[in-house]
Chains A and B, each alone.
Chain A
Amino acid sequence: MVAHPGPGPQAGAGEWSPHEDFSRVFDAHFAEIHRYIARRLDTQTADDLAADTFLIAFRDRERFDPSRGGIRPWLYGIATNLLARHRRDEVRRWKALSRTAAGDDQESPEGAVTAKVSAQQVTGSLAGALAGLAKRDRDVVLLLALGDLSHAEVAAALGVPYGTVASRLNRARKQLREALGDVNPLKEALDG
């Protein structure tokens, strides 16, 4: 189940407005947007897309509506839209990571004998699952996982209703869990 919807993301008290001082928006968020894109694609592409994200945000700053969400969801939404143009590259990345991570596991004796399931050990499985997700579902999952946005913020970022985020997330969770082999490694990881 997803978290309680709440009132939706708001530009918090004291959060500056892009209408007033965009350089502060840039200083505060460029690195995290770059990181988000780089983790979904690669650093070189992130160099360009992150810059594009802020250029678009700057040009559309008059359209920014704090009542519809904060600055972070707004920026992540723009970045996610730009990422859509690289959908095939992203899928290729996840597939490659799936293969690479699987290979790493086989070559690692420590990984073979360690009972505890760590995040790194399931990278390959999760990357493969990400490659198989529908883009709209993948966007939701990765905005949550990489952007650390709340469900309401994801809804604002993608411009979809809260319930849509919930349904996409549930669908994606199911696929991710299946990719992990239905052994509930999440619980094992916790139990150690």
Chain B
Amino acid sequence: MDEITLLGRAIPDAPPPSPQVVARARARLTAGERRPAGHRPPGRRSGWTWALVCAAATAAVTLAVVFLAGGPTAPSPVTPPTLPPTVPSTPSVEPPATYQGLRILRTETSQSTAAKITLRFRPTSVKTAIVLRCSAPGSRVLVSETHDDGLSEASGVCGPDGTRSRFDDKSYEPGWTSRTHTVTFWVFPPDAPILSSRVEHNCNRAMCDGKHRLSTETASTIAARLGERPQPWSVAVYDSPR
């Protein structure tokens, strides 16, 4: 018996995962199957933080946050539209009335970036989708919600090609339909001085190299620094019909 074998025996063993834990992990995978392989969630966090303090999954809530740009149709991996050089045009961000069979529950549109929208909604079912549409490809997004367990936030990019994201952890929050949710969305222009999620990992301060960490603490500061820009975006909450 060498040191490694001894070490393996000396470290206390752990109980196997409970069926609920396995079920929750499997459900996250099921939710993830809707996303193409190789795609990563936006932002530095794997999901909404509050899910980490949740107990085992009790409902198969599906909360999809979809970042879209380029119009109300379903996302399609196409190149940005070719526009006449002399006719400036802004892709529509008007949300469609339905999304993947879900009906629209709440929606709001902002005419400028470096601005925020706060939506209050109470889901009527365990199937909920949140869809952001940004006219400026590469817009930076911050989503946050304050609740009893603290603050949950996630950041990402409003992509030009219908990039999708899903805050998987959020999908398994117990009591999803039993309370009103107040979620704040910030959208910043693509050239905003915001650290990329990759660089952010190596930055322990609020700012590095003149760029901010994107969080609820810094969003207002970044917005004030930039000033609003005429780049429309919208957010819509979809829910399953009863």
| B14-A47 in contact (CB<8A) | no
Chain A residues with Cβ below 8 Å from B2 are: 173, 186
Minimum CB–CB distance for B187 against chain A, Å: 24
Given contacts A34-B16, A34-B21, A145-B4, contact A59 B39 (CB under 8 A): yes
| B11-A145 in contact (CB<8A) | yes
B24 within 8 A of A: yes
Can you name 9 extra interface pairs (CB under 8 A) apart from A97-B12, A145-B11? A22-B29, A26-B25, A38-B14, A50-B21, A51-B28, A60-B38, A63-B38, A123-B10, A186-B6
Q: Which residue of B lies closest to A146 (CB)?
A: B8
Roughly how many angstroms separate A178 CA and B93 CA in the complex, as a whole number?
65
Given contacts A31-B16, A190-B1, contact A51 B37 (CB under 8 A): no
* CB neighbors of B among A135-188 (8 A): 141-142, 144-146, 148, 169, 173, 176-177, 180, 185-186
Roughly how many angstroms separate A6 CA and B103 CA in the complex, as a whole number?
58
Write the residues of chain B forming the contact surface with A, with a CB cutoff of 8 angstroms. Answer: 1-17, 21-22, 24-26, 28-29, 32-33, 35, 37-40, 46, 52, 168
Tell me which of A61, A63, A119, A141 has the highest count of chain B C-beta atoms within 10 A of its own C-beta: A119
* CB neighbors of B among A47-63 (8 A): 47-48, 50-52, 54-55, 58-63
Q: Which residue of B lies closest to A125 (CB)?
A: B10
Q: Which residue of A lies closest to B168 (CB)?
A: A55
Chain A residues with Cβ below 8 Å from B22 are: 30-31
Roughly how many angstroms separate A39 CA and B168 CA in the complex, as a whole number?
25
Minimum CB–CB distance for B42 against chain A, Å: 12
Roughly how many angstroms separate A173 CA and B7 CA in the complex, as a whole number?
10
A102 within 8 A of B: no
Write the residues of chain A forming the contact surface with B, with a CB cutoff of 8 angstroms. Answer: 22-23, 26, 30-31, 34-35, 38-39, 43, 46-48, 50-52, 54-55, 58-63, 97, 119-120, 122-123, 126-127, 130, 141-142, 144-146, 148, 169, 173, 176-177, 180, 185-186, 189-190
Chain A residues with Cβ below 8 Å from B17 are: 30-31, 34, 43, 46-47, 50
Roughly how many angstroms separate A119 CA and B4 CA in the complex, as a whole number?
11
| A55-B46 in contact (CB<8A) | yes
Roughly how many angstroms separate A35 CA and B11 CA in the complex, as a whole number?
12
Chain A residues with Cβ below 8 Å from B4 are: 141, 144-145, 169, 173
Chain A residues with Cβ below 8 Å from B14 are: 34-35, 38-39, 43, 46
Minimum CB–CB distance for B161 against chain A, Å: 17
Tell which of B3, B15, B35 touches A43, judged by Cβ atoms closer than 8 Å.
B15
Minimum CB–CB distance for A104 against chain B, Å: 11
Q: Which residue of A lies closest to B40 (CB)?
A: A59
| B29-A119 in contact (CB<8A) | no
Identify the 9 closest CB pairs spanning chains A and B, nearest first.
A38-B14, A119-B9, A51-B25, A145-B8, A119-B10, A145-B7, A123-B10, A62-B37, A34-B17
Minimum CB–CB distance for B179 against chain A, Å: 22
Chain A residues with Cβ below 8 Å from B7 are: 126, 130, 141-142, 145, 176
Minimum CB–CB distance for B89 against chain A, Å: 34
Chain B residues with Cβ below 8 Å from A47 are: 17, 21, 24-25
Chain B residues with Cβ below 8 Å from A61 are: 37
| A62-B12 in contact (CB<8A) | no
Minimum CB–CB distance for A45 against chain B, Å: 9
Roughly how many angstroms separate A182 CA and B6 CA in the complex, as a whole number?
15
| A126-B6 in contact (CB<8A) | yes
Chain B residues with Cβ below 8 Å from A176 are: 3, 7
| A26-B38 in contact (CB<8A) | no
